[in-house]
Structure 1
Amino acid sequence: MTRRVQILVALALTALWGAGIYAAHAGGHLRFLDRLEATLTDWRTQVRGVQRPPDLVTIVAIDDTVVKRGGSYPLPRADLARVVDTIVQFKPKVVAIDLLLVDRSAAIGDATLANTLATGPMVLAAAAIFPSASETVEAGSAGPLAVLPQAERFLLPLPAFADHAEVGIVNVATGQSGSPLSVPMLFRTRDKVELSFPLRVAARALDKPLTIASDHLMLGDRTVPTDTDFALPITYYGPRRTIRTVSAQSIFDGTLNRAAIENRIVVIGAAVAGGGDLYPTPFDSLMPGVEVVSTAITHLIAGDGIVRDRRVHIADALAAILLPVLLVGLLAWRRSALGIMAAATVMIAWAGLNAFAFTHGVWLNAATTLAAAVPPVAIFAGVQLWAGARRTQHLAAKSRSLAQFQAPAVQEWLARDPNFLSKPVRQDAAIVFIDLSGFTSLSERIGPDALREILQAFHALIDKAAVDCGGMITGFLGDGAMILFGLPAAMPDDAARALKCAIDLHRGVEHWIASLPSAIGGQLGFKIGAHFGEIVASRLGESHQHITATGDTVNVASRLMEVAVQNDARLALSNTLLDTADFHGAPDGVLSGPLPAQIRGRSGVVTVWFWRDRDGPSHTAAMAEMID
């Protein structure tokens, strides 16, 4: 499978993963993502910071001060009637009582409260009782109301109270984190639909008709964007008491400020420590439920709530599919730090966009997108690292293999310039040829294993001498080799290094042959030819290329081995090579010549010198003269 196909498969699987994660979460599964989303929502709310709420609502709190005064909780109905009566006298828009008045108490107190509720615009709280297992939707139900949370029944205020007020369901949705993130606007049982407490209060305060559309609500001509289940997402303005709050004790003390009540929405609710109606929020570990409800009422009246409607969910779905695909695509585009940096930049940009949208009133889901993006990106990156390690090992193996055939300088040059010698180059260079004599006849008499060992040892000698002198073996020719000096670039000492290599080969091979068993060493000899002049260097081959040199200089160096054999010598050096190397003999060697020699297949003569090792081992066997 080609890399392009592998990338396309990875992108397709990534897109399917993202779509599957989004669909599973939207279908009510993967509930752990709700807890993660709640945590991320808290962080985004804290990043946004405390905001000043529209001054529309006043909370009259039945707090610890009131309980200490009366000595009991819940507040006696007669005392609650006194609170409501005082508030009504200051002419509020609506009085919302966030207390469940579902049980009878003292007859006088109930009657007094009922009479008081008849004196002004009132909304009372009721509660939905859900099945113990989960909230369910009736099988086979259809239409927009099918998605509503279905309660077993409603706990409604006593008829004596409900006859003088409107009623709304006060439940909030806490989710997995325990922090209220939304308030359902509609509830239902099998045969009844009820409005939420905040929605009743807002509709009464605005005095606008309520319309239930397929995916949103209308208060008069204003759209109230809700989630797909008609829940109102809420975002907190700040810690408790950020919304204007006064203690109900100020009523008993006669210190209540009329300006805090007149022409305002007044919500009466409990704020008693240990009262149970307390929730964790991004700014508070415990916020009274009355302030949560008041936040929802303020959103409905002011229209400043956070949006998480059908269009936002479409954006979430696209993000869950496209973001991981983009990240995997970037990692596949560049398997390097550049790809990682590009992917990291995209992630940072997405996080910034998500936070920016949240602070500007659009709630894009973060947890689902992360769950869609992180696993495939991590898996793909891991596979990339694994493949990269394998590729590195492969390249290292190839490099080690190349090192066995190319001089280190040529390897370094090819690494810097992959197009080296892609076009032939004419230049001066030194050429050394070496060949074993008698090897062909020997190979007919010994086994293949012994033959292989002889060649390995011979090639190792050649390789060491070439590398030590900076030459490049352009190829092993069975029982011989050609060594080139002048690549990757011609150097002033190419001839001198070629001369040293030829002498080192002479000594090394001579001692090696002497160390062989006489039955083998007595059958072997060797010949070396070395010359300097102009060559044509190039790369030959297509899929498997090799560097080679051609030209008259190469032919002369090869034929000099014949000249050496013809003159009972082992090393023949051209006068051109010696002059270029500025060689004048050495105390440990004997240089004889010059000899004008006719080169087979070439007109003219070449001046040749012969070098012998002064201290080399003597051989009793005659040197083989045949040319393999």
Structure 2
Amino acid sequence: MTPATRQAAGLRTSRRTSRLSWPLTALLLLVAIVWSGWLARTQLRGEASVIDRLETATLDWRLQIAGPLAPPGTVAIVAIDDRTVTAEGGYPLARGRVAAIVAAIERSGAKGLAIDILFAGSGGSTSGETGGGETGGGEAAAGDVALAAALARIPSAIAAAATFDKAASSLVPMAEDVLSPAALFADAARVGLVNVSTDAGGTPRLMPMLVLTPKGPMPSILLAAAGLGTGGEAALSGDAVRLGAASRRLDLGWHLPLRFHGPAGTIATVSVEQLLTKGSDPKLAGKLVFLGVTATAIGDNFSTPFDPQMPGVEVLATGAANLIDGTALVRDAAVRRIDAGAAIALTLAAVGLIALVPLPIALAVAAATLLAWLGATTIGVASGVWLASVLPLAAMLPPAALAGSIRLYQDRRLARTLAAAEAALRRFQPRALALHLAGHPDFLMVPQERSVAILFVDLAGFTGMSERLGASRTRDVLKEFHTLVVEELVPRGGVVLNFMGDGAMVVFGLPEEGDGDATHALAASLAMIAAVRGWIARTGAETRLGGVRLGAHYGPVILSRLGHDEEQHITATGDSVNVASRLMEVAKSHGAGIAVSKALWDAADVAGLTPPESWEVVAIRGRAEAMTVGLWR
């Protein structure tokens, strides 16, 4: 092999190994499986992690992009607000007054009532949020009786509250203790827990449908109230809530993911003061009504994606509307399996691409895939499905960064090797051939026949110039001439196969054949003659060259490697090569600068090209048949 061939083979070998080796790729994929599999396992099991904090933050963004839900038509709120507290002379309200509120809600035609107030104790006890307000024990007892009677007249659910050990963790919440309503009220209404599950920032995310307590399992107030006024009860069935014929899918541990309708006040709200003044309100008719406190500095408030201060009673009403209307976010075991599968698949795909595909392409595809998943999660949330956005990102980035770092190091090392090898290769072959040989070291090991355009060019008066200028200056003049040949012909698709003293052989159609080879050869011939004549004019006083001659032909040739197995060069042979060479003689004998065959002219797209000044039928030395030749003088 020539140095060129050996360089080409070296480049080919390097390119075969530019990807990571199979053992290293397998090791990186194993790391990716272990890492993403561990994260997927935490997702499937619902284990708390830092990822959850980031996930809830991105959930807020996606909810804001999706926008708020329309106000529900199934749920309303009766609020003990600032106006009510002022009108009643303070808080807590006497239970007799609460009984009047319940009666007004019943008169309004509400189908059910859920009360976010803890009626602990009786007979004027103040152990709960409301427990007194009456001036005497008898009056307090009467208020209790009135409230119990009012609750009995309307399907209702009242609040209990659980306390938890913050250090304990389980999918189904386990309460240390429960603050329950007095038996008088518990006998008149269903009882449900009002606890909500918040994230690290205090935003309610989930509503537990069931809590394990020392007294046994207790339902959420949503579960207790959802079926009020319908003749049935909401019940847990597998991983869902059955509500009549409807089924609402739940997250692990029987949690309902909340989706808020908008800022505070989005759900229809009636002030207690207004309700008591009017005696009833038609806005409550046919709805499940939540009674609770919204007054400043009295009721509990939560931050939500749409409002930093939402009253707790509206959070509960939101959960009830989600449960009744089916507007809750869906994040059950099936969705979590999709999350886990996406995390593992995206991670393996990213690592595999980085290991085996060119790094820029791999990174672009991996980023596009991840963005597509993030887009899918945004669309999912808008459609009511809570797909994880952070889990695949957290699963993908560390293994991908590791693989990318290793690949970047290897690619940079190979790039330096390739640059040095290609620079050396270009010294032995034209650039187009060098690049082609780098990717195809077996190029022309088997000769190929194809039609190409061949161009020969030489200087007139070169011998006399060499005698006058001497070897050193003649070499400088040749260097200038050869530079002109390369600058005019190579950009137009020509490959200089050989510089022969004051001449050059150029082929159009090497290394690959193209539809425009003949056209490029003609255009390059005209440009070449103009450029060389300009150069001769600038250097004429010294060189005294007689001009330039160019012959060009289009026809079949044999492209092959000639020479010894260890010393080869690529060339074109055949009658078409001889004809192109002889056409320079035709140009000289006719006093022309360019002579091209009719075959070349016919093969080219000549639109816009200057036509020959004349067409001549001439004999070609060494050939029996005459040829039609176009001449430019």
Normalized against structure 2, the TM-score is what? 0.64
Q: Deviations over 1:404-448 (max 9, x none)?
A: x636xx34531156556544599999xxxxxxxxxxxxxxxxxxx
CA contact 1:31–1:176 (8 Å) conserved in 2: no
Aligned equivalents of 2:476, 2:42: Cα separation in 1: 67
Aligned counterparts, 1:291-440, within 5 A:
291-402=314-425, 406=428, 410-416=430-436, 418-419=439-440, 421-423=444-446
Q: 2:308 aligns with which of 285, 301, 311?
A: 285
Give the corresponding residue for 1:238. Answer: 262
Q: Deviations over 1:434-473 (max 9, x none)?
A: xxxxxxxxxxxxxxxxxxxxxxxxxxxxx999999979xx
Residues 75 and 467 (structure 1), Cα distance of their counterparts in 2 relative to 1, 3 Å cut: farther
Q: Residues 540 and 80 of structure 1: is their aligned pair in 2 closer, same or farther, counting only changes over 3 Å?
A: farther
Residues 313-336 of structure 1 show CA distances to partners (whole Å, capped at 9, x for unaligned) of 111111111122223334445315
Partner of 2:501: 495
Question: Could you give the per-residue CA deviations for residues 219-271 of structure 1, whole angstroms, max 9, x where no partner exists?
Answer: 344322111200111111111111111111102332742x1222321110111
Post-superposition shift, 1:130? 0.5
Partners of 1:421 and 1:538 within 8 A in 2 = yes
Q: State yes or no: 1:94 paired with 2:100.
A: no
Aligned positions of 1:143-154 closer than 5 A: 147-154=171-178
Contact 2:62-2:378 within 8 A present in 1 as well: yes
Alpha-carbon distance change, 256 to 422 in structure 1, aligned in 2, over 3 angstroms: farther
The CA deviation at 1:27 is 4.5
Equivalent residue for 2:592? none
How many angstroms does 1:39 deviate by? 1.0
What is the rounded CA distance, in whole Å, between the counterparts of 2:51 and 2:400 in structure 1? 18
- Which residue does the alignment assign to 1:176? 200
Indicate the structure whose relative CO is greater, using CA pairs within 8 Å and at least 6 residues apart.
Answer: 2
Query: Hey, what's the Cα distance between the residues in 2 that align with 1:541 and 1:235?
Result: 80
Provide the residue aligned with 1:616 in structure 2.
none
Contact kept, 8 Å, 1:424 with 1:539, in 2: the verdict is: no
> Which residue is 2:8 aligned to?
none
Q: Distance in 2 between matches of 1:78 and 1:489?
A: 107
Equivalent residue, structure 1, for 2:30 = 12
Helix, strand or coil at the partner of 1:125: strand
Q: 1:422–1:539: 8 Å Cα contact kept in structure 2?
A: no
> Once structures 1 and 2 are overlaid, which stretch shifts more, 343-352 or 356-365?
343-352
Q: Classify the secondary structure of the residue corresponding to 1:313.
A: helix
Q: What CA distance in whole angstroms lies between the structure 1 residues aligned with 2:205 and 2:406?
A: 39
Gaps of 5+ in 2: 1-16, 121-126, 457-474, 484-493, 505-557, 573-584, 589-633
Question: Once the two structures are aligned, what percentage of the paired residues are identical?
Answer: 31
SS in 2 for 1:285: strand
RMSD: 3.7
1:42 and 1:282 in contact (8 A); partners too:
yes
The AA in structure 2 aligned to 1:59 is I
Q: CA deviation at 1:540?
A: 8.1
What SS does the aligned partner of 2:110 have?
Answer: coil
Following TM superposition, by how much is the alpha carbon of 1:60 offset from its aligned partner in structure 2, in angstroms?
0.4
TM-score, structure 1 as length reference: 0.65
| Distance in 1, Cα, partners of 2:283 & 2:180 | 29
- Secondary structure at the aligned position of 1:322 is classed as helix
Determine helix, strand or coil for the equivalent of 2:374: helix
Q: Could you say if the C-alpha distance between residues 370 and 30 of structure 1 is closer, same or farther in structure 2, counting changes exceeding 3 Å? A: farther
Alignment length (residue pairs):
457
2:138 matched to 1:117? no
Equivalent in the alignment of 2:229:
205
Matches within 5 A, 1:215-294: 215-254=239-278, 256-257=280-281, 259-275=282-298, 277-294=300-317
1:71–1:115: structure 2 CA closer, same or farther, 3 Å change rule? closer
Inter-partner Cα distance in structure 1 for 2:86 and 2:204? 29
Q: Is the 8 A contact 2:373 2:389 kept in 1?
A: no
Matched, 1:126 2:126: no
Contact 1:335 1:384 in 2 (8 A): no
Supply the distance in 2 between the matched residues of 1:88 and 1:428 (Cα, whole angstroms).
103
Please state how far the C-alpha of 1:53 moved relative to its aligned partner.
3.2
Counterpart CA distance in 1 for 2:233 and 2:560 is 93
What CA distance in whole angstroms lies between the structure 1 residues aligned with 2:94 and 2:361? 71
SS for the counterpart of 1:246 is strand
Structure 1 position 11, deviation (Å): 2.9
* 3-state SS of paired residue (1:100): coil
CA distance in 1, matches of 2:291, 2:422: 81
Contact 2:55 2:389 in 1 (8 A): yes
2:187 — aligned with what? 163
How far, CA to CA, are the matches of 1:25 and 1:93 in structure 2? 39
Which secondary structure does the structure 2 equivalent of 1:168 belong to?
Answer: strand
Residue 227 of structure 1 aligns to a residue whose secondary structure is coil
**1:299/1:188 CA distance change after superposition, 3 Å:** same
The amino acid of 2:73's aligned partner reads D
> Quick check: 281-290 or 94-103, which moved more?
94-103
For residue 358 of structure 2, give the secondary structure of its aligned residue in structure 1: coil
Residues 510-561 of structure 1, C-alpha deviations (whole Å, 9 max, x = no match): xxxxxxxxxxxxxxxxxxxxxxxxx99727899xx7644899xxxxxxxxxx
Q: Is the 8 A contact 2:224 2:234 kept in 1?
A: no
**Alpha-carbon shift at residue 292 of structure 1 (Å):** 0.8
The superposition leaves residues 472-496 of structure 1 with CA deviations (integer Å, 9 ceiling, x where unpaired) of xxxxxxxxxxxxxxx96345x6223
Shift of 1:89: 2.5
SS at match of 2:307: coil
Q: Secondary structure at 1:237's aligned position in 2?
A: coil
For residues 347 and 4 of structure 1, what CA distance do their matches in structure 2 show? Answer: 25
Separation in 2 of the partners of 1:36 and 1:270?
32
Instruction: Write the letter of the residue equivalent to 1:149.
Output: P
